[in-house]
Amino acid sequence: MRGNVNGLIVVNQVGYAVKDKKLAMFKGKGGIFQVVNDHNQVVFEGETGIAGFDEASGEYVALGDFSSVTTIGNYQILFNDSYSSTFSISEKPYLDLHTGLLKAFYFLRCGMDLDESYAGPWNHKACHTAKGIVYNEPHRVRDSSGGWHDAGDYGKYTVAAAKALADLLLAYELFPAAFDRQIPIPESDGNIPDILHECRYELEWLFKMQDELTGRVFHKLTTLNFPPLKTMPEEDRANLYFSPISATATGSFTAIMALASRIYQPFDQEFSKRCIESATIAWKWLENHEHYPCFKNPEQIKTGEYGDEIDSDERYWAAAELYKTTGDEIYHKKFKQLLSETELKYELGWADVGGYGTISYLLLNKANTDSHIYDSLLQGLVETAEHFLEISQKNQYCISLTNEDYIWGSNMVLLNHAMILLLASHFVHKINYVECAKAHLHYLLGRNPMNLSYVTGFGEHSVMNPHHRPSVADEVTAPIPGFVSGGPNSGLQDDYVKEHLQGEPPAKCFADHEDSYATNEVTIYWNSPAVFVASYFIQG
In the set 235, 435, 512, 515, the catalytic residue is 512
**Within 10 Å of residue 398's Cβ, how many Cβ atoms?**
21
Active site residue 153: yes
Active site residue 236: no
Q: State CA 307 to chain mean position distance.
A: 19
Report d(CA 49, CA 25) in Å as an integer: 10
Report d(CA 452, CA 442) in Å as an integer: 11
Burial of 112 (0-12, 13-18, 19+ CB in 10 A): middle
* Cβ-Cβ contacts under 8 Å for 440 (sequence gap 6 or more): 399, 400, 414, 415, 417, 418, 421, 533
Helix locations, 224-351, DSSP H:
247-264, 269-288, 312-326, 329-339
Active site residue 467: yes
Helix locations, 352-449, DSSP H:
354-362, 371-394, 410-428, 431-444
Question: Residue 381 in contact with residue 348, Cβ under 8 Å?
Answer: no
Strand order in the sheet with 23-27: 9-10, 23-27, 59-65, 52-54
Pairing of strands 132-134, 241-242: parallel
Residue 455 β-bridge partners:
484
Amino acid at 489: N
Amino acid at 346: Y
Question: Residue 325 in contact with residue 334, Cβ under 8 Å?
Answer: no
Q: Please count the CA atoms within 13 angstroms of the CA of 383 that sit on its side-chain side.
A: 8
In order of 175, 349, 408, the CA distances from 95 in angstroms are 14, 26, 28
Amino acid at 326: T
Mark 220-248 as b/e (b = at least 16 C-beta within 10 Å): bbbbeebbebebbbeebeeebbbbbbbbb
Report d(CA 357, CA 338) in Å as an integer: 10
In the set 54, 59, 150, 153, the catalytic residue is 153
In the set 197, 219, 417, 467, the catalytic residue is 467
**Within 10 Å of residue 72's Cβ, how many Cβ atoms?**
11
Considering only CA atoms, which of 505, 449, 510 is closest in space to residue 27?
449
Report d(CA 409, CA 520) in Å as an integer: 9
Considering only CA atoms, which of 350, 370, 399 is closest in space to residue 506?
399
Sign of CA dihedral 172, 481, 219, 268: positive
The catalytic site residues sit at: 153, 467, 512, 521
